[in-house]
Amino acid sequence: MDPTGVTVLSAMEVGLRSDQEIVRLRQLVRDQAISQGFSLVDQTKFVTAASELARNTLIYGGGGDAHMSVLMNGTRKGLRISFIDKGAGIPDIERALQDGFTSGSGLGLGLGGARRLSDEFEILSEPGKGTTVTITKWKHR
């Protein structure tokens, strides 16, 4: 149990170094969301957020890893995924979270969209050392 009272029931790690691994992560996230009893809407939101962040990890971070945990907080169930890369980092996180910002050819909805689709969102980045983005979704009754 962590200091906030959240218990990690299980954890797994998925490499994010190819499109096939992103597809695998999407399926694992969907399977876990179903097994935790998430609604179809919440499943779709969390899979979409995970897919966006996995793609960012691959494209902008040069690949990395996703760490997924099944959580329990009292009677509440949840899923948490951390996306970790050792890429160039994000020099201006607030700017990167704004809709329309992109450092590539995308629509610029990835980080901000993932934040909106998740119940909890945290980003840590240091230029030249990499980025870790953590999202959590709780099962709503």
Confidence check: pLDDT of 108 > 50: no
Is residue 81 in a domain? yes
**In which element (H, E) is residue 52 found?**
helix 40-59
What's the total number of domains in the chain? 1
pLDDT in tens, 23-53: 999 999 999 999 999 999 999 999 999 999 9
Q: How far apart are CA 123 and CA 141, in angstroms?
A: 27
Is residue 132 in a domain? yes
Q: How far apart are CA 76 and CA 74, in angstroms?
A: 6
Residue 140: pLDDT band (50, 70, 90) is confident
111 vs 110: which has the higher pLDDT: 111
Q: Which domain holds residue 54?
A: 7-138
Domain at 33, CATH number: 3.30.565.10
Contact of 99 with 109, CB cutoff 8 Å: yes
Q: How far apart are CA 62 and CA 52, in angstroms?
A: 15
Confidence check: pLDDT of 137 > 80: yes
Is residue 1 in a domain? no
Residue 104: pLDDT band (50, 70, 90) is low
Is residue 29 in a domain? yes
**Average pLDDT score over the chain:** 90
Is residue 2 in a domain? no
Q: Would you call 52 exposed, middle or buried from its count of C-beta atoms within 10 A (0-12, 13-18, 19+)?
A: buried
Is residue 51 in a domain? yes
